[in-house]
Structure 1
Amino acid sequence: MATMSQICPIFTAVFLLALQLCIGNKSCTIWSSSGHMVKRGSSFQVYCTFYCTCKRSMYSDHPPTPQNHEEFNSTTIYFKVLNITENRTYSCQCSCSLSLDSCGMDISTGYPPDRPKDISCIYKVSNDKSGDVFCTWKRGRNTHLKTTSVLCVRSVFGNHTSIDHECPRNGTDLSSVSFPVPRSVQLISVRVKAHNPLGSSVSSTTNYTLSDIAMPPAPVLVHPECSSRECIIRVHQSVKTDHLEIQYKSDGQTWTTFTSPSHSHQGAKAWNISLLEPYTLYNFQARSKLSTGLWSQWSTNISSWTQEEAPAKELDVWYAEPASDSKSLKVYWKEANNSISRGKITRYIVKVYNPNSTLRSESNIKCNATNYTVPFCANCEVAVLSSNSKGLSPPAKITTSYKQAKPPQDLQVTAASDNVTISWRKPEAAPASYVVEWYPEGHKLEELRWVRLSGNDNHTLITGIKQFECYEVAVYVFYDENSVGRTRFTGVTNLESAPAASPLFQEKVEGNAVTVSWTELPRSQRKGCITNYTIYLDSDSRPQMSYNVQASERMYIIEALSPASYSLWMTAWTAKGEGPAGQKVKLYIQQSQLPLLLMCGVISMIVLFFVCLCQNSGVKQRLWVFLQCLILDVVPDPANSKWAKECTQVKGKLNLQVQLSSSSVTKDEEEPILVDVEELPKKNSLTSIPTKVSLQHPSQTSQNPEMDPATHLYPLTTYIKSFSHDSDSSDHTQTSLDTNTTVEYISSHGPGIIAEEDQGEDEEEEEEFPEMLGFLPSHNVFLEPMDFGGKLTLDAVKIDCGDFFQNI
């Protein structure tokens, strides 16, 4: 008989085999010490028992992550889970020869339900017999588990009979529920139960009197009928109520409430809503209430327009001042709001009146226009009117013939990110009104804006200011219809930086000056208010030059530039700094021809002056002597003349015989003329070549055989100075540098004698000195007849240029 120790292993093996067959091809069984639903933040153990001997392992999450398990016994392992905060999946696996699947389980985490609170119920009356109770409550925090909520209600009728019932269970995890209740029920008691796998909770009981929570249905409004000032509203109610309220408003306004008298209302009834504005779209809604209980919900909004009326006020009109040479005036107006226009504007009318208030012109303008240009006259008055289907507005009049008055003082500008505040000091005289205008610099006609203020204001807030934009602002103060003062200033901006580009310019070179002209920077590149421009001029021969020009200028002239090659460029400035330099342009300044022309003119004037001066005989003779000194090679030497060679007897005396060719000469004139000759000492260290002097006629000289040409009657000299007894100047005195040439030199009482006797020699001299003869004037300025007389000595005929300069 088998012992007990032999039966146990067999029994265990059979049990395990049977268990494996029952659970399928699983290698293990897994379970948790706290079940498959646990509270978040709790700790527990997960166990795995294996059916075969193998290497065992435990995993968690997806994809499976190995976990550090511990051995519980030979067939079981476990893993400690600490402070679980979310749903997890755990699995175990055994690696053995059998193809067995791993085992696993899902752990759900959550919280038990909180106690419901803040139960609120409303009895929505449907008709005179019944209604629905609608209850809501707060469930508390999210349990992360499937939670069921049940509303338990006890109703108390008039005879104090109570009925307990629960709300339908078809809704789970809800926070509101509704159920029908007859109007005969006076009281109800409600409570809420909440339940999930981790626990349950019950709210406190709340009691209600149905009349206190009763709410009628919302009224139904019929489309109203409106005139210009009132509307008739028709209200329809399915339940008899005791109170009714109607609200209305226009766009952008707050609600205005109309309350009906306290009496029963049921069915359809009309209500008159008055004190409305013309041509305005109004929205209407209504609500009602029983004698006690709650107000119904507001009805659906309905809208309607009131009818039009003629415009109530004149337009807000302004104008752009005409330029000095303009023959037109641009008038602007603002589109009036509905409270002023009181209808849809169909057109604008612009009228121009003469100073005597007679109509000069009238123009109809389209309804979408906001400005119009009219012919300008100094004292004309312009009126602008608006028109709708009911009539015309009062005329808005403007004129430019204002009397100048004291302008606003102490203007201050405070800039913010998107607006600018303009403030000023009030004048002593109380003004009637102010007008503040502003526009981007240089774009007045396109983007003019303005605001009209009362006489009590001393500041205004300008909105819509663009960043990196420069504005011009003007403040006008009106004391009466004909007296106005104005202060205008520029450079208003709320944000700026250095310019983003340089201006485009053109250069023009004229002589030694450069004219630079440029255009304004585009608005997008100015980055604020331009304060000035800088023109740079650079060359290799001189330091770089810069010229600052005001922002209002568009041209600049650089003068007195020396001839050179230059580089020119420009930059623009704002209060934040200088913009980038533009493209450099090469230009060249050439040498001016004006000094040369001026010099030629001066020389011509000097020559003309001397020509006029030489018309004087004394000046003419001195100048002729000076010219002879300059041209020494054409002046004959008196010591080499024939008559000087023939004078051999008396020292210091010359026998001068002149034979006249004219038959009118007397015998006395034929007698020899005695000339005193005085010897002058040599004035230079150079050795003079021997010179023979003769004062006789050439014919006489040739006929005297006794005269030895080699005889030296006087000391050797090269120059002879001759003076006439009748004048202080000599004529036809020449000095020859060639001492070997014999030249006749004869002084007589007239040039005619010289011409006859020396005709042949004169022709030779003209050929030898053509340049000198060509220099002399053809009208015989220096060659006028000269008288010769008195005695001639060698000292008298010696030419001394030094005395000439001394006399001058």
Structure 2
Amino acid sequence: MIMMSPCVSVILMVVAFVNGARIEDDIQSCAKVQTASAVVPLGSPVTATCIIRDDCPLATGQDVQWRLNDRLIPGISVASDSGRIYKVAISDFNHTRAFLTCCVQASPIQVVGGVEIRAGYPPLAPQNLSCQTNLTTPNTLTCSWDPGQQETHLPTKYTLHTKIWDSNEKQTYELPTGLHQYTIPRSGFVFFSEMEIYVKAVNELGEATSLPMVLEPVSVAKFDPPRILKVEVVPKRYGCLKLRWGLSPHQAWMHDFRLNLEVRLKTADSSHWSEQPILVSQVKPTRPVDQCRLRHGTEYFAQIRVRYRQSPWSEWSSSQSGVTLESAPTGRLDSWLKVSGDHTHKQLTMHLFWKPSQQFRANSQNVSYVVSVQKLPAEKGKLCSTPRNYCTFQLPRKAKKVYLSAVNAAGKSSPTEVRIYQIKRHTVISEIKAIPRDDRSLLVQWRSVDASGLTGYVVEWSPLLKTDPSFIQFETADRNQSSLVITGSFEPYKPYGISVYPRFKDGIGLPQTVNAYSRQRAPSMFPKMRMKKTWQSHIELSWDEIPLDQRNGIIQSYKVFYWGENGPVNAVNADTKERRVILKDLNTMTLYEAFIMVSTLGGSLNGSTIHFEIEPFDAVTIVMIVIAFGVGLSLLIIFIVVTCFSNHKRLKGHFWPIVPDPANSSIKKWTSDSAQEKFPAWDKKESNPIYLSHLSFLNLPMKLSKEEDDLWSNSAEDTSDLGESICGSPFIPGYSGSNSDSVPYATVIFSSPCCSPPPNEPHVYLRSESTQPLLETEESFSPKCYQNMASDGMSREQCFFGPCDDCIPEEGANTVIHWDDFPFLQALTMNDTPND
């Protein structure tokens, strides 16, 4: 068994009562609910009466209640002869639809009667009634209106009423519910007959009618876009164009009617139509229209639209172009002259740019420009002739100004004088910045450190990705200005170079330049990092600059993120100009990952991840170790070499003993290096020296005795301590030539150094024997006699190395040998020694 809640059962009972349903045909209703109206204005009071028969079994011994939907409302009971009567009063009925029921208190509650009450508003009069005639096939008249802002909450019917005055024919058109427009067929109206039209709205609470509208259907017709057949030049009329036009084929039958026409124009280089169209009233389609007061020699695009009396304007026609008659250019040109080159050698190059001023009129489609040193253009003084907006030429000698003129087929303009300015090598502008305002304009701001002598500024800009000078644009500013709004077709995400030049009476100062973007975004590509070098716990990462066309904005920062295995993520900012970072305090034998993030004001882009690892001994460390080892080894070698050279005599004598050579013995080599240093000058005076190998000096305090002499001469093993012997002829007993086993040598022993004054005691001459074999010689050796000087000044002859036959002087010959011829022997005084 399905159980239902009391509320659901009440609603079902009410619906059954409203629809007049019966459970059984032979059972009559126990109660009847009556109201003044089932539809009432919203918010108005409502009263109802419930009449219950006395024999109703449901109401026997039960109290009666009123319910509005599921809400209990108080009521009163009135006794009568026919049964019981119960009334209820609702002071403010604020439901758009509700069920009022009469119930008895049973278990569950029983509904004995009920009624549905609806509430709303009466309709408002329709507003803004308008109609429009369609002149295309099929011809119709469509009218629409506004039902008003207030909702009625009740079904409202609208009807359209028409009345043709000429025939007094009336028509009523019923509209579906909720529809607020209706299209009258062609049979319901006449194009050129006035008719009255109004709309009526009706619902259960009342009706309302709109204001009637009287119209001629053709006067509310919207024409199809007309056509411009041809745009012609008006002969001998400068600045005039003739427009021939017509209606569309569907409205061609109205060619004799006078229509209103509007014309709008624009030049070929403009993107905007004229703000105020030109109105031509009461013109037939067969009559052309003249448009004058146009620029000479200028191409214009034209469009037209039409209407009949106060009908809606048609859509604009398609565009057609025409060119007015040419005339000579008028007005002046704005110019900007830049100077480059070598001022010292006066090899200057002029870069002249120009643009039309607000007063300039080219008056032609084909205009060229001539730069000349003469005021009147001529071939002789012409510097250049070009259809473009710039010219480059060499500065003529002694030229102070040039002249710029515009030329077309009809003539030439008055020349614009351009003075030649020199470059002033000092900076006036200290700071410049460019702020984008929108896609078509930038605000340029600058500061001047010294405004004395300034006459103004020149702001120049051009796209950095286009090198053609024709893209260079400029604007002039007053000396009191510090900002300027430049406009143009700035492309988003493309770089522009902006320069501000100070202008003086006698020259142009150095500029300040800044790069700018009208709109920025993240770069299109990221830089690729590479490892430049590693050392110890550091690594240097570097990257190349992003190409200018891929930046999409001004690079604000480079940030490198890196992390090791299971380590935190670190970030390092890099200088935007150096484009490198050094990662410090890295662990060896640890794998690291890193990537770079490049940012502009419009966004950021992350690069790809790279991996690197710090080796225990990197290349730098190995190189440093090798360098340190090499430096130490070099210092050791240098020390050894220096030591060897400083003691080379001692080392040489230790490893390679010096053996006297009698064939080369001479006084030149009697002494060691110490002795040679004491006789440097006069030693070179000997004309034909015979070298002696070595001369030993002994400092003897007293004269050696004969026994000592024998001791020296007989001790062969001790003679090595006396130095090396003098190389001379061995004239001693026992000398047998080169085949003998021993050869006598002589040692000269001084009692004091040779540089000291001559001693009183005579020098001692010793002989010694050496086992060193002499060099064999075939020549006989006979010693020469040398003369010692006696103490009394008299000279006497004495043979060195023993007696000889040559000591006897020849007759008639000068046998005196002077000591001056033998300076080294001059220091020696020998005594005769026995030969045994």
TM-score by length of 1: 0.45
Greater RCO (CA < 8 Å, at least 6 residues apart): 1
